[in-house]
Amino acid sequence: MSVQYVDPTVSRAKFDREIAEYKALGEEYRRLGWFLVHAEYPRVLVVLAAAKLTPSPIIMGVAFDYTNYDAAPPSVRIVNSYTGEPYKHRELPTQLNRSLPQQEIPLPGFDAVPMMKLQSVQPYMQAYGPEEIPFLCIAGVREYHDHPAHSGDIWELHRQEGAGRLVRLLEIVHRYGIAPIAGFGVQLVPQVGINYGPPPP
Amino acid sequence: MPHQNKVNLIVVVNGRPVEVGENIHAPLRALINQALEKSGNSGQPIENWELRDAGGTILAPERKLEEFSFPDGTKLFLNLKAGIGG
């Protein structure tokens, strides 16, 4: 639970503007599969569905806490859409992976031609362990700026450009967590047994 | 009478709409620059922003507006990229 140290009137006004601007374009966002299901200062819950699939499954909820906004960035958690509980790292429906540039590594013993190609990914959701609540590790998110590893990348460097804005953060979660969904994954495990007819008299 | 070579679009910058008009022969980069300027987001290079259409398709800034045949009033969405993170 965060302590409100900014004049609540200021934070609330900025929060209300975020919500009003979201609602003004709500139809556009709904087409992407975004559903604003709760917005009461300082919290917002938006549920994201994979709109391009039929039927369209709900993939995750994104919970925001705009306490002290925008003197401080919002907290962002990926949550269970139905309970609102933050997912532990091992429960995440997606880790919001970003493809890194492909690396070509020469194979030892061969001349330059044969190259091993490595395609690695970087998850934007970070945690210390599978049982921990992960956080969205990008500038504009409270957990990122509170982390000691990012003390050199302070919120004030990103505040003016709207890095903590609701739509900007939802766009990122959508881009890496929803847009890459290509279809349903179905695993069928056939089991072979012996079927007997009626037993002989 | 509207100018034949000009298209008026709405660019939603980090969730906030701004109206921009641009020549259809110009690259999207010019549109992005204009939208960033009008929305007061001039602190970041254009490479740190990403433009998409309403369907979610990312639009390369080098492409020209005329390639898309956007009607007046079309909404495009300009968003600050996630960055390196991690």
Query: What's the pLDDT at A107?
Result: 77
- Asked if B15 lies within 8 A of A140 by C-beta distance, the reply is no
User: Which one of B75, B80, B86 has the shortest CB-CB distance to A162?
Assistant: B80
Residue A118 has pLDDT above 90, yes or no: no
- Asked if B14 lies within 8 A of A168 by C-beta distance, the reply is yes
- What is the value of pTM for the model shown? 0.89
Confidence bin at A109 (pLDDT 50/70/90): confident
CATH number for the domain that contains residue B72: 3.10.20.90
C-alpha A168/C-alpha B14 separation (Å) is 5
Count helices and strands (H / E) in chain A: 5, 10
User: pLDDT per residue over A59-72, tens digit each?
Assistant: 999 999 999 999 99
- Asked if B85 lies within 8 A of A162 by C-beta distance, the reply is no
Map residue A197 onto helix, strand or coil: coil
Residue A1 has pLDDT above 70, yes or no: no
**CB < 8 Å to B81, chain A:** 172
Asked if residue A29 is part of any domain, the answer here is: yes
Confidence bin at A103 (pLDDT 50/70/90): confident
Query: What's the pLDDT at B59?
Result: 96
Q: ipTM for the complex?
A: 0.88
Query: What's the pLDDT at B43?
Result: 77
Q: Which residues contact A92 (CB under 8 A, 6 or more apart)?
A: A78, A125, A134
**Which residue range(s) make up the domain with B65?**
6-80
Residue B3 has pLDDT above 80, yes or no: no
Asked if residue B86 is part of any domain, the answer here is: no
Domain count of the fold of chain A: 1
Q: CA of A168, closest CA in chain B: separation in Å?
A: 5
E strands, chain A, are: 34-40, 43-49, 58-65, 75-79, 97-99, 103-106, 115-118, 121-123, 125-126, 135-136
Domain count of the fold of chain B: 1
C-alpha A120/C-alpha A98 separation (Å) is 9
Residues A20, A47: contact at Cβ < 8 Å? no
Map residue A75 onto helix, strand or coil: strand
**Which residue range(s) make up the domain with A144?**
8-97+123-177
Confidence bin at B1 (pLDDT 50/70/90): low
User: Which one of A28, A137, A140 has the shortest CB-CB distance to B54?
Assistant: A28
User: Which one of A32, A126, A174 has the shortest CB-CB distance to B86?
Assistant: A126
Asked if residue B67 is part of any domain, the answer here is: yes
Q: CA of A145, closest CA in chain B: separation in Å?
A: 11
- Asked if B54 lies within 8 A of A24 by C-beta distance, the reply is no
Tokens, residue A162: 């709207």
Asked if residue A76 is part of any domain, the answer here is: yes
Q: CA of B27, closest CA in chain A: separation in Å?
A: 23
User: pLDDT per residue over A156-187, tens digit each?
Assistant: 999 988 999 999 999 999 999 999 999 999 99
Asked if residue A193 is part of any domain, the answer here is: no
Q: CA of B16, closest CA in chain A: separation in Å?
A: 7
Q: Which of A40, A15, A36 is nearest to A27 (CA)?
A: A36
Percent of chain A with pLDDT over 70: 98
Residue A113 has pLDDT above 80, yes or no: no
Residues A138, A21: contact at Cβ < 8 Å? no
